[in-house]
Amino acid sequence: MKIGILAVQGGVAEHERTLRQVAEKYEGKPWGDLEIVQVRRESQLEGINGLILPGGESTTMSRLLTLSGLDKVLAAALQEGLPAYGTCAGMILLASNVLDTRPDAIWLHGLDITVRRNAFGRQRDSFEADLAFHGIDEPVHATFIRAPIVEEIGSGVEVLCREPEGRIVAVHQGNVLATSFHPEVSGVTEVHELFLSMCEEAGFTYK
């Protein structure tokens, strides 16, 4: 399996480290042969079975995607069925509507959701919590850093996780998964494993 990580800005290394932890965990099995590629241009999408959109600064990522032309390429790939997983800023990019963002920001319409940027406050308001996550047996240790929340969902969107006050922080629709929080920062591999299972089930290869 070949997984791309969008590498225009943000927490690329953390996701790469988590995927390598998964590969070590499943050594000798199919996931033990994970190939990981950083994606900055369209040619680097070739052959991938899924794409991770990391946390970072969503408006900066938006601008860089527009400048490179990757915004249109990724939007089309998502419509064609490319599995994707976005954390924090990655969730924002995958949304269909974003609140409290710059007027020139773009998003990729991979999920029928409305998100609000920086909904939990500034960097000093970061926090951690153990949360029940649908599809994962044990609570997931979630790290929230200037995180968004999902304010509205479309009829085809499944809510996977809520934070302690009941706000939606993880969703799934079709081949797309997104979390407000950073499992890759917490040392959690189970969410990435869930995403790899989605990629296997989708059977999609970008050409």
Binding-site residue numbers for L-glutamine are 56-58, 117, 145-146
Q: By C-alpha distance, which of 91, 108, 78, 54 is closest to 171? A: 91
**Catalytic residue among 182, 192, 193, 199, which?**
182
3-state helix, strand, coil in the chain (%, to 5): 35, 25, 40
Binding site: which residues?
Answer: 56-58, 117, 145-146
The verdict on whether 182 is a catalytic residue reads: yes
**Catalytic residue among 14, 15, 88, 193, which?**
88
User: Residue 139 gets which letter from DSSP?
Assistant: P
The verdict on whether 184 is a catalytic residue reads: yes
Strands (E), the chain: 2-6, 35-39, 50-53, 84-87, 97-99, 113-116, 127-131, 140-144, 149-153, 158-162, 168-173, 176-179
The first and second tokens of residue 119, run together, are 């909904």
Measured between alpha carbons, how far is 3 from 196 in angstroms, rounded to an integer? 9
**Catalytic residue among 184, 192, 193, 199, which?**
184
- The residues carrying an active-site annotation are 88, 182, 184
